[in-house]
Amino acid sequence: MRFSRLFFSLLLATCACGYAADVTGNWLVKQESPDGNIRETYFDLKQDGTNITGAMRSVTFDRKIQSGTIDADGKIVLMMAGQNNRPGQRIQAKFVNGELRVTMPARGGGEEMTAKRAPAGAGGPPAKIEPPALHKVKYNGLAKTPPMGWNSWNKFAGRVTQEDVKGMADAIVSSGMKAAGYIYINIDDTWEGIRDANGNITTNKKFPNMKGLADYVHSKGLKLGIYSSPGPKTCAGYEGSYGHEEQDAKQYAAWGIDYLKYDWCSAGRIYKDEDMHAVYQKMGDALLKTGRPIVYSLCQYGRAEVEKWGPEVGGNLWRTTGDIRDSWDSMTKIGFDQDRLAPYAAPGHWNDPDMLEIGNGGMTDEEYRVHMSLWSLLSAPLLAGNDLRTASKEILQILTNREVVAIDQDPAGHQATRASKNGDLEVWVKKLADGGQAVGLFNRGGSAADMSVKWADLGITGKKKIRDLWKHADIPWTAEAYSANVPSHGVALIRLGK
């Protein structure tokens, strides 16, 4: 019996060590999505006994294996390090008869994929293309007021289809949003297909006819937007514009595209932040060269002081923050952190605190009124991100409040600044083209609060007209101040004028 146990222990040790020559190496997993996109993920593994180290990588990311084990039966468990404040992933695999089968994370459950051996070092980004010398790109004359429209990502993410986009175009007209100023219908990531033999970008199965879709959107009196990245892959792992900037811009123009969101993503695996200016300039030049008016939206999360050079690369707007989420904490953290950027907003060039979450269900209607009020005071782009086909009457009233929209679209293009802050109570003021002012009294606290703003603090002398923009009512003039009881997570928004 003792001999049998000793033999079995030695056999297990031999099995575990025996994997070393086979599991160590670079392994490629190819995943095909329903739309036909191929995602390549590499597992660069090194085995030492029962321990596994290494990394999981693709063109868009490189994640270290925090801990990894393999047992005598060839079962592998890898704990990946987290990234961008997100927890790491647990990935399981099996090593059977010299074959590695990896269970890849996926919505609704993992999918077991067979990994193939790949050359050492494969899976990283392509060689760096040196960015061009800096010069100023001519202003395209667009977005003289902040762009308004709809974007697919917040609601649909990678599930958006051509039919969804057509449905939104129909809904934006029938709901009254077009009449209120919402014009752009913007497709975010996951429309991209492969490149053809000549390097031209194509669409995937979800978007079988981009030119036809553009024609449909244009027939509604609307404009169509699209998405890409200066890197080789987009954030979702689809084809980016790296090395194909002029070719892609020409294709967008041929399709009839009116707006480009250009998302940094995998470019960060090739370039440093100090390269951003020149890299974004490259696409700015390419868009201008097409001769088609295309709004240029920079999406690099507010890094590298983009507000200082965004206009110089032809940018009409630039993101100032990471991605917004449909929550009070996310929206307020982003929105109330924009004060320092006010000097950089101007007609044709806008700070972009990200898209609207109004109507997606994570906040109350009162909180969504705060969202709409603050973005309008900030002269931010107003890009709805909900399903307009099923939006409630209350949500549509928030999005189409023309008196509030008029604050956002004021032709002077000033961005509001914080006039005062007392704990959870903040007052923001925006100068308007007619000499008036828009004033927002925000209560970020957990209970209703009495708030007031003194006219002297706003530099106001003499009697003015006061208009409550959410109640759509004129307010009697008082000599010294305006006062209101503002609900928890609420706003009082007024316009002062002649």
Q: What is the CATH number of the domain that holds 357?
A: 3.20.20.70
pLDDT at 14: 42
Q: What is the DSSP string of 165-228?
A: HHHHHHHHHHTSHHHHT--EEE--SS-EEEE-TT--EEE-TT-S-HHHHHHHHHHTT-EEEEEE
**Largest interatomic CA distance in the chain:** 103
Say yes or no: 275 and 387 in one domain.
yes
Provide the CATH number for the domain around residue 448: 2.60.40.1180
Closest among 71, 68, 63 to 79, alpha carbons compared:
68
- For residue 9, is it within any domain? no
Say yes or no: 282 and 265 in one domain.
yes
Alpha carbon 405 to chain centroid distance?
Answer: 22
User: 10 Å Cβ neighbour count for 62?
Assistant: 17
Q: How confident is the model at residue 86 (pLDDT cuts 50, 70, 90)?
A: low
The answer to whether residue 376 scores a pLDDT higher than 80 is yes
The answer to whether residue 355 scores a pLDDT higher than 80 is yes
Q: What is the pLDDT of residues 379-423, one digit of tens each?
A: 999 999 999 999 999 999 999 999 999 999 999 999 999 999 999
Q: Scanning the structure block, which residue is given the tokens 């900030």?
A: 378
Provide the CATH number for the domain around residue 32: 2.40.128.120
Say yes or no: 80 and 197 in one domain.
no
Across the chain, what does the average pLDDT equal? Answer: 93
- For residue 342, is it within any domain? yes
User: 10 Å Cβ neighbour count for 450?
Assistant: 10
Q: How confident is the model at residue 461 (pLDDT cuts 50, 70, 90)?
A: confident
pLDDT at 22: 79
- For residue 366, is it within any domain? yes
Q: How confident is the model at residue 97 (pLDDT cuts 50, 70, 90)?
A: confident
Secondary-structure percent of the chain, ordered helix, strand, coil, rounded to 5: 30, 30, 40
User: 10 Å Cβ neighbour count for 430?
Assistant: 23
Which entry of 35, 44, 248, 263 is annotated as an active-site residue? 263
Distance CA 481, CA 458 (A): 10
Per the CB < 8 A criterion, the answer to whether 402 and 410 are in contact is no
Q: What is the DSSP string of 263-296?
A: E-GGGGGT--GGGHHHHHHHHHHHHHHH-S--EE
Q: How confident is the model at residue 479 (pLDDT cuts 50, 70, 90)?
A: confident
- For residue 1, is it within any domain? no
Q: What is the pLDDT of residues 165-177, one digit of tens each?
A: 999 999 999 999 9
The answer to whether residue 107 scores a pLDDT higher than 70 is no
- For residue 139, is it within any domain? no
pLDDT at 121: 87
Distance CA 274, CA 160 (A): 34
Q: Which residues contact 175 (CB under 8 A, 6 or more apart)?
A: 388, 391, 396, 400
Say yes or no: 204 and 160 in one domain.
yes
Which entry of 323, 339, 424, 468 is annotated as an active-site residue? 323
Q: How confident is the model at residue 105 (pLDDT cuts 50, 70, 90)?
A: confident
Q: How confident is the model at residue 178 (pLDDT cuts 50, 70, 90)?
A: very high
pLDDT at 88: 80
pLDDT at 106: 65
The answer to whether residue 20 scores a pLDDT higher than 70 is no
Residue after which a domain boundary falls, among 415, 437, 465? 415
Global confidence as pTM: 0.92
Say yes or no: 345 and 474 in one domain.
no
The answer to whether residue 111 scores a pLDDT higher than 90 is no
Q: Mean pLDDT over residues 95-119, rounded?
A: 84
Q: What is the pLDDT of residues 24-73, one digit of tens each?
A: 999 999 999 999 999 999 999 999 999 999 999 988 888 999 999 999 99
- For residue 461, is it within any domain? yes
- Give me the helices (H) in 88-156, please: 153-156
- For residue 477, is it within any domain? yes
Distance CA 211, CA 452 (A): 53
Catalytic (active site) residue 263: yes
How long is the chain?
498
* Structural domain span for residue 72: 16-118
Distance CA 283, CA 281 (A): 6
Residue after which a domain boundary falls, among 388, 415, 442? 415
Say yes or no: 311 and 367 in one domain.
yes
| Percent of the chain surpassing pLDDT 90 | 88
The number of domains in the chain is: 3
pLDDT at 239: 97
Say yes or no: 405 and 492 in one domain.
no
Say yes or no: 153 and 110 in one domain.
no
Q: Mean pLDDT over residues 443-459, rounded?
A: 96
The answer to whether residue 248 scores a pLDDT higher than 70 is yes
The answer to whether residue 21 scores a pLDDT higher than 60 is no
Say yes or no: 337 and 370 in one domain.
yes
| Percent of the chain surpassing pLDDT 70 | 94
Say yes or no: 167 and 41 in one domain.
no
Say yes or no: 51 and 182 in one domain.
no
The answer to whether residue 12 scores a pLDDT higher than 50 is no
Catalytic (active site) residue 164: no
- For residue 138, is it within any domain? no
Say yes or no: 202 and 327 in one domain.
yes
Q: What is the pLDDT of residues 281-307, one digit of tens each?
A: 999 999 999 999 999 999 999 999 999
Q: Mean pLDDT over residues 330-342, rounded?
A: 98
pLDDT at 367: 98
Q: What is the DSSP letter of 346?
A: B
pLDDT at 495: 98
